[in-house]
Amino acid sequence: MKLGILKTGAPPAPLETQFGGYPDMFQALLGPDTHDYVVFDAEAGELPASPEVCEAYLVTGSSAGVYEALPWIEGLSDFLRAAKGRAGLVGVCFGHQIMAQAFGGEVIKSPKGWGVGLHTYEVTDPAPWMDSTAPIAVAASHQDQVVQAPPRARVVAASDFTPFGMLAYEDQPAISIQLHPEFEPAYARALIEARRGSRYDDAQADQAVASYAAPNDASRVGGWIEAFLATIPARRG
């Protein structure tokens, strides 16, 4: 499959040097030779000429808020709407949020504050591409949240902290998740340390770092994404 990665942000520069950028993390999660990857720097305004350039697109995380009046966010939203039914879509964190907003949902900066560390979601409405209904524990790093799902999108996994944690769309081949399956524990811990004292205090940072001693289901969620992508018909010609 030709899989377009719509890059909407980057790790802090020192961490990107050590761990790579978000496209690198997703290629490691899904397998470097599994797809024909094409990276588009959506944050810089680079988008495919048409949705048919790739059979599916994955929208990465970003430090931006989807509600910010940034030209590239508007352009990306227009592209996602144009891609509806013409290419598969997968959104992660910011990608989850911008898909929800583009298709009629609502995203806010949550008064609950930061969700950081290993978070557990219950499977609330199993989808065919899931391997089981067992809960998932995956890295979280977000303050914004989807608070209203788009029409024809259903919640398939969630937590009390994130009630709209994972969505599956019924009117197009599209799924999205607030969690970060692409974050390896070493990167997730390093990101927490880089933000200690600025985005969260010592107590929250300590608790989040300690959470990564527990089993991590990132590879399992990566398998879900792969199983979903396998449902998208190959394009002929």
Q: Which residues are catalytic?
A: 93, 180, 182
Q: What's the CA gap between 133 and 157, in Å, rounded?
A: 9
How many other C-beta atoms lie within 10 A of the C-beta of residue 74?
12
Q: How far is CA 119 from CA 70, 94, 147, 172, in A?
A: 30, 17, 18, 28
DSSP for 24-78, written as a single string: HHHHHHH-TTTSEEEEEEGGGT---SSGGGSSEEEE---SS-TTS--HHHHHHHH
Residue identified by tokens 């985005």 is 199
